[in-house]
Structure 1
Amino acid sequence: MCALHVLETTMGCFFHVGSVWTASLMLLCFMDVSYGQIVYSVSEEVDKGTVVGNIAKDLSLNIQELELRMFQIVSGTSKKYFEVNVKDGILYVNERIDREELCPNTPKCRMHLEAVAHNPLNLYRVEVNVLDLNDNAPYFPVDLHIVNITENAVGGDRFLLPLAYDADVGSNSVKNYKLSSNEYFSLDVQNGGEQSVSAELVLQKPLDREKQPVIKLLLTAVDGGKPPRSGTLEIIVNVLDINDNSPIFSKPLFKITVSENTPVGAEIIRLNATDADDGINSEIVYSLIEHGNLGAEFFAIHPETGTITVKGNIDYEEHSVFELRIQAKDKGHYPKSTHCKVLIEVIDENDNVPEISVTSLLNSVREDAKTGTGVALITVSDKDVGKNGVVNCRSNQYLPFKLKSSYKNYYSLVVDGPLDRESTSQYN
């Protein structure tokens, strides 16, 4: 709520008058309106004071009037990442900008600002695209990965390796994997577009436990930056005996959809793997591979049936997609395993109410204020997407104020009628 105090004008002086009665200002939200805007780009981690652009020139404003018109930059964040020099109209960086902190796990990072000039009130929409720097190296969630392989494994057998992660995005994210030189294994790097870049060990020649029971390898993840950054993972291959057939899934990738807020315990898919062996060597145990697997916090799999169920609160606004990595392992004395991926797309539900943020421009207003005088900036938002996230605002039509749309979900509250302190001294 924003309180507006009307001041009585007497011989050029202003006197605060106590409240007589309170009128209610109601905000209702429905649709979205958009206008033009100015767009700038700036790299993250630039020095404070770095020039973003000449906003006065780009907005065709008179530089000599900026200070008189109290020209300022307004944003919805607690930090003022940008400021404007009212002496020359230059927009500059005022705080350290860390793209990974502002926009984690998003391909594009946009900061939305409002430039405000008074007397008369003018609002300008400003968008700043924060460009990613290659300031983070890839890393693995574990330091050591152990792979157990029977000595009668055949050429072409595959063994899934842990994913590497990189806080950077786009070309600066993980783009490739490399394997240290060895005589037994090659590396198959997979990049399926919507899937993350992953790698598998591929057996190239028969193993001989009596000749070499342990094989040490080094896996390197490389990003696409210039110059590139990298991270490494030590791999220990233990060569075992017996059990000559691995379980097999019907396909390597399963794609399904699930609505957010699906209740805990709900079944979403049942996987099935088969094993050509007999007896205990054909019995299969299913499990979620947890290292580096975010989905393990929200889904569970029955070890015997392969049924995947919900075990956590699924919120589209927090995670719109999950990638589960499932292992099927037999019960042989030296078990063999295979893997598949389950790509789960979360469907958005209209489970968030619109939020309203009010920034006061004035604590009080003269009773002889002109129509159009700015009182407050109002921002509305909805965490839902699509139609569920479309909002609009309007004010009570019987009050001497109105909402003026500036850009999308940004509005200004301005005087829209005569004010009479003797009749109403305060509006809430």
Structure 2
Amino acid sequence: MKIRYIRIAAIAISMGIIGAGCSSDSSSPSGTDGSSDTTVATETSNEWALAYTGATEGEATGEPVRIGYVNQESLFPEATIGLMAAVDYTNKELSGFGGRPVEIVKCDVAVEEDGQKCGTQFANDPTVSVVLTGTLTVGNASLYAALDQKKPIVIGNGVTVADFVTKAGVAWTTGSIGVIQGMAKFTIKDLAAKTVAVIHSNNAAGKAAFDVLLKPLFDAAKVTSIGVGVEDTATATDVQSALQAAGADKVDVLLPVVTVQGCSALYDAIKALGITPKVVTTGLCFGTPVKTHLADIGDKGDFPDGWYFLGYGASYFNPDVESGMQTYIDKVQQYGKPAEGSPLEYTGFAGPLFANFLTVAKFYQQIGVDAVTPEGFNTAMRAFTGPMMIQAGDLSCGVAPFISVCGHVTGIQQYTTAGGWATITSIDVRAAG
């Protein structure tokens, strides 16, 4: 099924221009410096963002609008990179929220108790009407309990059961619900697997991925599945043991559900064991650290050869204008701030946070920056049916049993060293089978 995004009228004319620009050689014709191509790309990105948000071009001034933000920085720093790139872009070029600059009030979650702390902080802050999250593996439930009925929450990337069923907020992205269930459906239907091994993070998110989202689908399809957990700090040697315990050398398909830090260790473990499993994994494993690791060890290709990767439907590596991915790529490269001594990590959870922020900007424009209340924003965010920036398909919030998840479509890509990136298919996880 090919995903067709609803076109935004302001971009329809310019798409042919940017399409030609993207397909051209990276060197400049006629001895020019290529600045005209860059200008066209920037103008097109701005046109898309202005149409999507309803904003006015220009720089924001005046009293800041304060937005709460909660993230687990130790595991998902790229979420904050994406968010802050969106904030800087919006303040500099999209006149902020209704002409006023946006200020992000951050609260970090490192342990379970921090969720309650952050929730209480924002619940009692009258200057904050809306709270965004990045990605959390701990503290989710207590954060939601503290904010429920007080401040609406835009969930960045749901990965635990609490993220999927809370009444306190919504996730416009499909999160683990779409990606993980999509992995199972793709493995069963498209790869016709009868045996699978799942290597998952040994935390709440990883356990939920296997026990709640994967195993029930495999059991229903009579596919034998074995799940083995690994710590987020696991070395390649640790992962080798997990692969052996899961029988990864004998199964039809291997499904890793690990953090971006664990993807490189997994790659090394597979290589050390000398096995060649068919791998279906999440978009975290095409993160910049994986690309850097393969270069460091001298292996060919940018990413693991032949692996399938699931995401939200738009491609970081073949960006299109319609979904907003081209705007994201252009602007995260312009405004994103990499960690010291590291390349810019713009994949993983960075893109969805950028998209969520621009969608929050859309609602502040629609409601009116001085008229936004927690109650009014809560109503608007739940009624949103799309199109959503870089998330494929329509949105439908409140669908049982995962009532907080509004996105339902995931996209599958495959990387090969010979051919690069190829779009394979997309899956609506609401569909039977």
**Which bracket does the TM-score occupy, shorter chain normalised?**
under 0.3
Q: If the length of structure 2 is used for normalisation, what is the TM-score?
A: 0.22
Q: Which has the higher strand share?
A: 1
Between structure 1 and structure 2, the one with the greater Rg is 1
Q: TM-score, normalised by structure 1?
A: 0.22
Higher helix share: 2
